[in-house]
């Protein structure tokens, strides 16, 4: 099943599986088993972060799986306090150690923290990780257009990815268009709305699910994929993991895509990057 997940090219020359598995808010005591299940079901793209406190458990699952390292794409992220303390080199080294890896496939600045005005300096450190091969690709998370414009103006590397809150009522059309214009891939966190509103009860999603005889979550993930987003759902349920991966046997038509696009309210359910500090 994993072979059915398309990989899309990044501006770094690497490629990324378009559908992955996230471990945000997965309890460290459960992470190894959850990730082992995800790998067994067929996921080959794992998304963690230092701030999730489960990098070593992700590492244990990768070791236990027996899957060759080069077949698994691993993303992790710089924790906010390391960014503020400018302990970027140390933090990156510790992530490599916790993950038991010689390189990270994608390393991200987790939040820009604009009040601290450190993200440009931090990004220059990430450029050195890409230059020496310890990070195959580097990117950002939760960056707004002005933050990206500063990176373009003051550094040499365009981020490969910007991982942002993105789901049907907050579909970020302006940011996605900006990314497309500059060769940045859009990656969606909270792709199913984090359970903070009745996404699956919305009529266009229910109608598409009935038409294709699939679950509402599968419709939403299919919408992300057809929109061009990289998407990283999470679940502790092996059955739901398999269901979330089983989204390549149907395609939403133009009318279904447009009806889901029309749900956008520009309404966040997570933190505003302009204010998170």
**Among 13, 35, 11, 6, which residue's Cα sits nearest to residue 23?**
35
Q: Count the Cβ atoms, other than its own, within 10 Å of residue 14.
A: 15
| Residue range 109-147, pLDDT digits in tens | 999 999 999 999 999 999 999 999 999 999 999 999 999
Distance, in Å, from the CA atom of 85 to the CA atom of 122, rounded to the nearest integer, reads 10
Q: Is the pLDDT of residue 26 over 80?
A: no
> What tens digit of pLDDT does each residue of 50-83 get?
888 889 999 999 999 999 999 999 999 999 888 8
Comparing 82 with 225, the larger pLDDT belongs to: 225
Which of 43, 52, 107, 119 is an active site residue?
52
Active site residue 52: yes
- Specify the CATH superfamily of domain 13-197+228-250: NADP-dependent oxidoreductase domain (3.20.20.100)
Whether the model clears a pTM of 0.85, i.e. scores above it, the answer is: yes
Confidence of residue 27 (pLDDT cuts 50, 70, 90): confident
**pLDDT tens digits for range 191-224:** 999 889 999 999 999 999 999 999 999 999 999 9
Q: What is the Cα–Cα distance from 272 to 164, expressed in whole angstroms?
A: 10
Q: What is the mean pLDDT of the chain?
A: 94
Spell out the domain ranges in the chain: 13-197+228-250
User: Does pLDDT of 184 surpass 60?
Assistant: yes
% of residues, the chain, pLDDT over 70: 99
Confidence of residue 234 (pLDDT cuts 50, 70, 90): confident
Question: Strand locations in 151-234, DSSP E?
Answer: 161-165, 185-189, 230-231
Give yes or no for residue 1 having a pLDDT over 60.
no
Alpha carbon dihedral 56, 269, 204, 18, in 10-degree steps, equals: -30
């Amino acid at each position: 099943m994993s072979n059915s997940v398309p990989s899309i090219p990044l501006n770094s020359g690497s490629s990324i599986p378009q559908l992955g598995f996230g471990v945000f808010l997965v309890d460290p005591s459960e992470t190894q088993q959850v990730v082992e299940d995800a790998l067994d079901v067929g996921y080959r793209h794992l998304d963690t972060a230092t701030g999730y406190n489960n990098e070593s458990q992700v590492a244990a699952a990768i070791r236990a799986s027996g899957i060759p390292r080069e077949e698994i794409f691993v993303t992790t992220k710089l924790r906010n306090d390391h960014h503020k303390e400018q302990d970027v080199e140390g933090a990156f080294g510790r992530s490599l150690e916790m993950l038991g890896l010689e390189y990270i496939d994608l390393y991200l600045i987790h939040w820009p923290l604009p009040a601290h005005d450190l993200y440009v300096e931090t990004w220059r450190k990430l450029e050195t990780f890409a230059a020496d091969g310890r990070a195959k690709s580097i990117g950002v998370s939760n960056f707004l257009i002005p933050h990206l414009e500063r990176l373009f103006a003051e550094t040499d590397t365009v981020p490969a990815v910007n991982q942002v809150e993105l789901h049907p009522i907050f579909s970020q059309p302006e940011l996605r268009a900006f990314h497309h214009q500059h060769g940045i891939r859009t990656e969606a966190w909270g792709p199913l709305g984090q359970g903070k509103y009745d996404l699956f009860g919305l009529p266009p999603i229910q109608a598409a699910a009935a038409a294709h005889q699939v679950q509402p979550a599968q419709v939403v993930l299919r919408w992300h994929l057809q929109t061009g987003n990289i998407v990283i759902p999470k679940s502790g349920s092996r059955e739901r993991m398999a269901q979330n991966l089983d989204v390549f046997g149907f395609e939403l038509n133009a009318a279904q895509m447009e009806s889901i696009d029309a749900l956008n309210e520009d309404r966040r359910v997570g933190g505003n990057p302009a204010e998170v500090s």
